[in-house]
Amino acid sequence: MSSDMRVHSWSCSYYLDLEKQWVPGKLTLTPHSLKFIVEKTEEVLVGLPLSSIIEIRKESSLFIFGAITVLEKSQTKHWFSSLQPSRNVVFNVIEHFWRELLLSQPGTPGSTPSHVTRGQELMGLMANSQKRMEDTAKDLQQQTEQLDSVLKGLEKMESDLDVADRLLTELETPSWWPFGSKFWKMPAEENLKEGVSSTCESFGKEGVVITVPAIVSERAESHSKLGKLTVLISALEIYDSCSLLLHRFEKEDVDDIKVHSPYEVSIRQRFIGKPDVAYQLISAKMPEVIPILEVQFSNKIELLEDALVLRNKVFASSAERHAASRPKGCAPHRELPTGGQEGEQLQKNLPLLSEGEAQELTQILSKMKGLALDTEAELERQDAALDGITVAVDRATLNVDKQNRRMRKLM
């Protein structure tokens, strides 16, 4: 079943509160659960469904520096540390699948909370999203200030190049020239400037087939980041969390696509004489993307190991994929909740949102809408600034090359 498929495993340590010690093992993520398996005995020490988690945080303890904490609805807190390759990578992947599960399955049977209502869960999720948007807005503002500083530097560079151009013109002027040091302006220079601006025009909008959120890493797995994958009719585009383009793979430039699992793919473009461009992507929505990639890159895609074995089970209908929401593995001191008619009846009896929660959610959504509009305006300003920087850099490069040639002639 799709819920038993392993998305990823990481070496880490788990803190046993009763024995006051860290136990080494492996943290395994499936589409619907999180398990910790002891290294020596291979015993499932912790097994909990993602739907029972209400908070995932990065924390530090007195015993070891970096850790990830997972808080359940029963207020049980689990500590994981010594995470490999890094805490950020593990946190991003787990949080991605947890959020996608909450958004796609808000009413999973058997996951009805006893102390925390669904409205409180939704408010917590929205509050976290609002905080993320606020942090993103601050980062965008800092980036805009940096771009403005770069533009000012380029303007100063252009003025310096103009001074150098005048000095070179005076040096090149023959002593017998009676009309001053200014030669007539060559028409080629105007054509060059016009050519630079015309070549810096961005790609036209193409037909977008599908866009999914993803965890993106370039070669080194320890440097993964939040982002998204966009499949176009004639290309693949990878963006970061700020919607800035990281790389664009033209359809003919893709050399191979490897499907490591139903939730993980890698895309590579080979080069001669320089390193290949390769990106690895992990996404809870990847099963929806892989069939599209198989059609567009039929002769370049390769299914590996788990992806090949479980292919038919994963690419079934969405109803079948979401039907299996309970992992079979269970911890000795924690039992995973089971779904049934009783859980469904409780779910129907409980109200989804109270009036107060609805008002609070309305306020949060209003703030998020304002943040989204501000972010869009900021991104538009940055796009314009980047276009100006591109044109200025190209123009400065042409001027520097031209003046270098003129100086070599004078020497």
Q: Write down the pTM of the prediction.
A: 0.50
Report the C-alpha gap between 189 and 8 in whole angstroms: 57
% of the chain with per-residue pLDDT over 70: 73
How large is the average pLDDT for residues 254-283? 89
pLDDT beyond 70 at 194: no
pLDDT band, residue 103 (cuts 50/70/90)? confident
> What was the pLDDT predicted at 34?
92
Q: Give yes or no for a contact between 268 and 278, defined as CB atoms under 8 angstroms apart.
A: yes
Sorted by where each starts, the structural domains of the chain and their CATH numbers stand as 8-104 (2.30.29.30), 208-316 (2.30.29.30)
pLDDT beyond 70 at 77: yes
How large is the average pLDDT for residues 168-180? 65
Q: Give yes or no for a contact between 301 and 257, defined as CB atoms under 8 angstroms apart.
A: yes
On average, the pLDDT of the chain sits at 75
Report the C-alpha gap between 43 and 35 in whole angstroms: 10
pLDDT beyond 70 at 217: yes
Q: Give yes or no for a contact between 101 and 284, defined as CB atoms under 8 angstroms apart.
A: yes
| Cα angle 55, 36, 313; round to 5 | 90
Higher pLDDT, 193 or 224: 224
Dihedral sign of CA atoms 190, 193, 196, 201 in order: negative
DSSP letter, residue 358: H
3-state secondary structure of 134: helix
> What was the pLDDT predicted at 325?
44
How large is the average pLDDT for residues 210-223? 80
Contacts of 274 (CB under 8 A, 6+ apart): none
Give the 3-state secondary structure of 359-397.
HHHHHHHHHHHHHHHHHHHHHHHHHHHHHHHHHHHHHHH
Catalogue the E-assigned strands of 242-391: 245-250, 256-261, 264-269, 277-282, 301-303
How large is the average pLDDT for residues 288-316? 74
> What are the pLDDT digits (tens) for 176-190?
555 554 444 444 444
> What are the pLDDT digits (tens) for 22-58?
889 999 998 888 999 998 888 888 888 888 888 888 8
Nearest one of 387, 401, 391, 389 to 161, comparing CA atoms: 401
Q: Give yes or no for a contact between 257 and 292, defined as CB atoms under 8 angstroms apart.
A: no
> What was the pLDDT predicted at 193?
45
> What was the pLDDT predicted at 357?
76
For residues 204-213, one letter each, b for 16 or more C-beta atoms within 10 angstroms of the residue's C-beta and e for the rest, the string is eeeeeeeebb
> What are the pLDDT digits (tens) for 117-136?
666 777 777 777 777 778 77
> What was the pLDDT predicted at 186?
46
Residue 279 structure tokens = 């990106």
pLDDT beyond 90 at 229: yes
> What are the pLDDT digits (tens) for 370-402?
778 878 878 888 888 888 888 888 888 888 888
The label of the residue with tokens 């809870």 reads 284
> What was the pLDDT predicted at 187?
45
Q: Give yes or no for a contact between 163 and 404, defined as CB atoms under 8 angstroms apart.
A: no
